[in-house]
Amino acid sequence: MYEEEKYEYICMRCGKKVRLDINEDPIRCTHCGFRLVMKPRHPVPRRYKAR
């Protein structure tokens, strides 16, 4: 059929990393059940301001 596409998200409530299948209907945190999860951002090098 189709391959499972699992992506890593971060829960907005408990802060844990969760691996979710995006083809599932309810996208929820597997630890606390909260619905809002976000993709983690890549670390960005900081630019320091000149003084």
**Cβ(27)–Cβ(20) below 8 Å:** yes
Cα–Cα distance for residue pair 4/21, rounded to 1 Å: 6
Say whether 29 counts as a known binding-site residue. Answer: yes
Q: Is 11 annotated as a binding residue?
A: no
Cα dihedral 24/30/33/34 (nearest 10):
-80
Q: From the annotation, which residues make up the binding site?
A: 14, 29, 32
Q: From the annotation, which residues make up the binding site for Zn(2+)?
A: 14, 29, 32
